[in-house]
Amino acid sequence: MNCAFCENPEIKNRKITENSLAWAFLGNMPIVPGHTLIVPKRCVNKYENLTKEEKDAIENLRIKVMGALKKTFDAQGFNFAWNDEKIAGQSVPHFHLHVLPRKEGDTGIYKYEPRDFLYRSGDRGTTPEEELKKVSELIVNNI
């Protein structure tokens, strides 16, 4: 299968916690100290392919890990993210939730600007309401 999370024994050495369906470990390219990944034990590439029980297990670990990161790093806030598919930056085809403890003066992206965060270049003003309404209608028609 060639999954870095499932087959790399070094990752197991970075385990922080686990439950019956998911586990958490430190990422090897941390944006900030404590940058944690939470993954299902079953090798699943996308969030929507997780079972409800796996989603609940990941959420339970997220809360547990947040508490530990608050105590360990005096975290004042958190970033949570996952990338879905290679085109969106998913480098390992095994779902993983990034949990980044944040505090004043840390490194990485500090100010959240969606265009910067998602690498959307250029400046674009506010989209006119008429255009937004048309796009929302297109989406509604496909729900």
Tokens representing 21 are 């369906």
Could you give the strand order of the β-sheet that contains 15-18, starting from the edge strand earlier in sequence?
Answer: 15-18, 22-26, 36-40, 97-102, 77-81
Cα–Cα distance measured from residue 134 to residue 96, given in angstroms and rounded to the nearest whole number? 34
d(CA 20, CA 134): 45
- Tell me if 25 sits within 8 A of 15, measured CB to CB: yes
- Catalytic residue, candidates 35, 94, 96, 98: 96
Neighbours of 5 (CB within 10 A): 19
Radius of gyration of the chain (CA): 18
Tokens describing residue 141: 């028609």
Query: Catalytic annotation on 35?
Result: no
Catalytic residue ranges: 96
